[in-house]
Structure 1
Amino acid sequence: MRQALLARFAKDRAGNFGIMAAAILPVLLAVGGVAVDLTNVMEQKNKLQALADGATLAAAATMADKGTMTAAEAQTLAKSFVLGPMKADIRNSGLPTAEQDAAIAKLEQDTSALAIISTTSNTAASYEVSMRSGYDVPLSGLTALLGFTTMRVAVESKSASGREGNALSMYLALDESGSMAWDTTTVDAVNPTKQETYDCSNNWKPKTCTRTVTNYLSKMLSLKTAAAVMFAELKKADPNSELIRVGADSYDDKTKAEQSIQWGTGSVQTYVNNLPAVPDGGTDASGAMTNAYNALKAANTTEKTAHDSKKNTTFERFIVLMTDGEMTGNSSSWNQTLDTKVRTQCQTAKTDGIKIYTIAFMAPANGKSLLEYCSSGAGYYYEPNNMTALVESFGEIARKAARTGTRLTN
């Protein structure tokens, strides 16, 4: 009887599925957890790689832009670019504070940067920034069933930039019409307010009063500030005044006396600084553009002779045309004939191989249309609407002309 019962029990398969499911369930949960965690780990690695790439690019570009940044400063900048967002993620992770502190300390320990500056001549330098970073990504409780609590991700990145001396001749055509005396939207940080007089007559009795108003910087002061930034950038690229020649001419409805093209930026900076603080008149850029073209055209060998004397076998030619208005001549209304004349001048210069940067500073539609047409393409047209943007525009033009470049090399 007992043997028969044992034999029947051995053949009975009722409940086997439940037993097997109970045995396999932890394994299935662990495998599912691994899939979720692997997806999260890849996302974290991609994010860390993007941060590292952005960090080395930013540091290398800043070194080239400034020209005076030390290797230690660049390394600090690169590390902060990565550590800032990663620390924020850890603080928002929900982990206990002690675990957050430990994770941040480990991240800082495992994040390093190295910046190298190579000066090849007085007019050229290269910058390389590399970095490594690693992070232990926390895994879910399900993966922990398999005995894993974290998974390590590590990334590397390297970027390079350069400031290469680029021989060039540049001519600025700058607006000094009456509207350049108008205010911008930028408040004078040194003197944010000023006293203003106004008519406060009452009962037909003449009376003048004063009141405090916001002191905005004028367009002309903004232009002088922006031009100074441009000249400083060009000076960085050519500290010995052997590569860069610059001249200028200003205009209202008349063409002013020009500053002929000279080596370096000293003469042209003095010229711009001496532009009237309170200009007047209409707007006619045609005379300044004529002078710019005549100074730079290929048929005029003056610039080639000058560059040959410095052993600059090749050089580029640039015109920078800036206005805050539209072509009106000596009136207050847009003059289509004059607008067409300037467009023709721009096309002639571009056909001759001269590259034209244009800056429409707080300009009306007709002014923007003209300068966009005159530019040598999208990367040569600027439309700043405040002083800060104007300064950035002039600085970027100088860096482009002097050929400062940044690239990711890893």
Structure 2
Amino acid sequence: MMTNTNLIKRTVETIRRFKDETQGNIAIIFALMTIPLFLLMGFAIDLQQVNTAKNRVQFILDSAVIAGAREMQEGKNDTEIKTYIENYFKSAMKAQGKGTDCAEPVATIASESQDLSVKVRCAQPTSIMQMTGTKELNFSVTSASTYGIGKVDIAFVFDVSGSMGGSKMSALKSAADTAINVLVPADDDGTTGEVRIGMASYSSMVDAGDDYFFKATGQLPIRTYTFSYDETYESGGDWEEVCQWKKKRGKWKWTCEDEWVPEYGTRTVTETKTINNTCVKERVGDEQFTDEDPGPFQWIEAAEAYGSINWRGNVSWYTESCNPIGPLPMTSNRDKLFDYIDGLNASGGTAGHLGIAWGWYLIAPDWDVVWPAGSDPYPYDEPDSAKAMIIMTDGEFNQEYDTSNGDSFDQAEKMCDAIKEQGIKVYTVAFQAPASGQAILNYCASGDDFAFTPESSEELTEAYTKIAQSISDLRIRY
């Protein structure tokens, strides 16, 4: 019995010693594993910092490449472009101040294809990895651009209603001139691709111009309108003996005399009014909100003359009119563009939906039957091409003629929907416009970044400059 008791005690003691030794071993193993786990976590943190730095450098380099491509558009030589990219990149990296150390970017320019490639090598300091002797991690970033779009059709749409007079019109002309200088540089030799710009203005109506009125309306600028009305006239009569008291030489006498007694009838009278007028209104019918070419049953409606009887019983004529500034079909000729802008003046109401329609017609492929050779718009599916519109107003759309599809605001919405469905980029400028004017232009814009609401002449110039640069960027692919 004693022997069994001792055996049990020895067994329990052995188990207790094994347990203590096992716990010690686990502690040692855990301690040994903590170090590599800590290093792995540190490596992950450092790699994440490098990835963040690389994304930041990539964004800055992409921006530098786009800026360099713009310099190329303006005709700068290779040395000037490379210097500009280097300075742009260095300034941007210094401004972000994140401790990433980069060498000077190396730019490669292919003059014939207008391709631009830039590469830069950078080093990002480490934190935890320094414990292993790795003080920094190196990475490189590359960005490139090419003229992915060589052809751009652009339509400028100007509000020339009466409220645009004075300083507003001066500000608009200056801002539009600036945009032209960006889109069609003075020293552009044509190697940067083809940018063509058309211009349309609107007030109470749109002036289709002497050269395009007939093609758009099917009518001649000089035309005659008629007004018919019924009038009462003396159709005949007879001599009849008429007896009555008459006073002669102070005495009343019963006198009988033959007098003419007229008879009256009614006849229709037609008067005419000949006008020389190229103003146009809406297109009516199934094609009202499309860019189909004009023709039978889908002509643009011409301004008209109306006759009426005034308070004196005479015929008065009212002739619909507009600010007589016809459209400028698309051109790359800077002089023609500047001359058009310089000729803008203000008068009339604000039929904004008509201006939007004619801006579309300027760049619509089916309207090639209207515009002269060289101004015929590219097809929507033309390879390496893009289309853009810039719609401007300072007021609310408040004048319409065909009300079957709503007022000017409603019709503008339908027109803009159809335009954007064709892939046309729509930029809008609501210059000191009321809330309703801003609302319709915000609706028409291709996005929030495409809508501008300048309140001063400086902001107007800035808006047109940004739009012009954005359109130029349509031609850069990186």
Work out whether the TM-score is over 0.5.
Answer: yes
Matches within 5 A, 1:224-235: 224-235=173-184
Q: Does residue 371 of structure 2 align to residue 327 of structure 1?
A: no
- Structure showing greater Rg: 2
Displacement, 1:323?
0.8
Q: Aligned in 2, Cα 1:374/1:55: closer, same or farther, shift over 3 Å?
A: closer
**Partner residue of 1:50?**
55
Displacement, 1:116?
2.0
More helix by share: 1
Q: Does residue 239 of structure 2 align to residue 172 of structure 1?
A: no
Q: Is the 8 A contact 2:148 2:477 kept in 1?
A: no
Displacement, 1:221?
4.3
Q: Is the 8 A contact 1:382 1:393 kept in 2?
A: no
1:321 partner letter: I
Structure 2: which 5+ runs fail to align?
Answer: 1-16, 205-321, 401-405
Matches within 5 A, 1:304-315: 305-306=373-374, 314=382
Counterpart of 2:374 in 1: which secondary structure? helix
**Partner residue of 2:247?**
none
Separation of aligned partners in 1, 2:375 and 2:350: 34
TM normalised by structure 1 equals: 0.62
Q: Is the 8 A contact 2:176 2:461 kept in 1?
A: yes
Separation of aligned partners in 1, 2:438 and 2:160: 17
Q: Is the 8 A contact 2:430 2:453 kept in 1?
A: yes
Q: Is the 8 A contact 2:68 2:84 kept in 1?
A: no
Q: Is the 8 A contact 1:111 1:132 kept in 2?
A: yes
CA deviations 1:198-226 (Å, max 9, x no partner) are: xxxxxxxxxxxxxxxxxxxx544443343
Separation of aligned partners in 2, 1:63 and 1:328: 44
**Partner residue of 1:114?**
106
Separation of aligned partners in 2, 1:228 and 1:348: 29
CA deviations 1:56-96 (Å, max 9, x no partner) are: 211111112343451122123224434554xx455xxxxxx
Separation of aligned partners in 2, 1:35 and 1:373: 53
Matches within 5 A, 1:74-153: 74-82=85-93, 84-85=95-96, 88-89=97-98, 108=101, 111-120=103-112, 125-139=114-128, 144=131, 148-153=132-137
Q: Aligned in 2, Cα 1:164/1:228: closer, same or farther, shift over 3 Å?
A: farther
Counterpart of 2:155 in 1: which secondary structure? strand
Q: Is the 8 A contact 2:110 2:116 kept in 1?
A: yes
Displacement, 1:340?
3.5
Q: What is the aligned length?
A: 324
TM normalised by structure 2 equals: 0.55
Separation of aligned partners in 2, 1:345 and 1:20: 80
Separation of aligned partners in 2, 1:291 and 1:74: 40
Matches within 5 A, 1:5-404: 27=32, 30-31=35-36, 33-67=38-72, 68=76, 70-82=81-93, 84-85=95-96, 88-89=97-98, 108=101, 111-120=103-112, 125-139=114-128, 144=131, 148-163=132-147, 166-180=150-164, 219-236=168-185, 239-240=188-189, 243-253=194-204, 254-261=322-329, 262-276=331-345, 279=346, 282-289=349-356, 291-293=358-360, 295-297=362-364, 298-301=366-369, 303=371, 305-306=373-374, 314=382, 318-329=388-399, 337-343=407-413, 346=416, 356-375=426-445, 377-378=446-447, 381-386=450-455, 390-399=460-469, 401-402=471-472, 403-404=474-475
Q: Aligned in 2, Cα 1:149/1:401: closer, same or farther, shift over 3 Å?
A: closer
Separation of aligned partners in 1, 2:390 and 2:40: 58
More strand by share: 2
How large is the Cα RMSD of the aligned pairs?
Answer: 4.3
Displacement, 1:127?
1.9
**Partner residue of 1:99?**
none
**Partner residue of 1:195?**
none
Q: Is the 8 A contact 2:118 2:143 kept in 1?
A: yes
Structure 1: which 5+ runs fail to align?
Answer: 1-11, 91-106, 183-217, 331-335
Identity across matched positions, percent: 21
Q: Is the 8 A contact 1:113 1:131 kept in 2?
A: yes
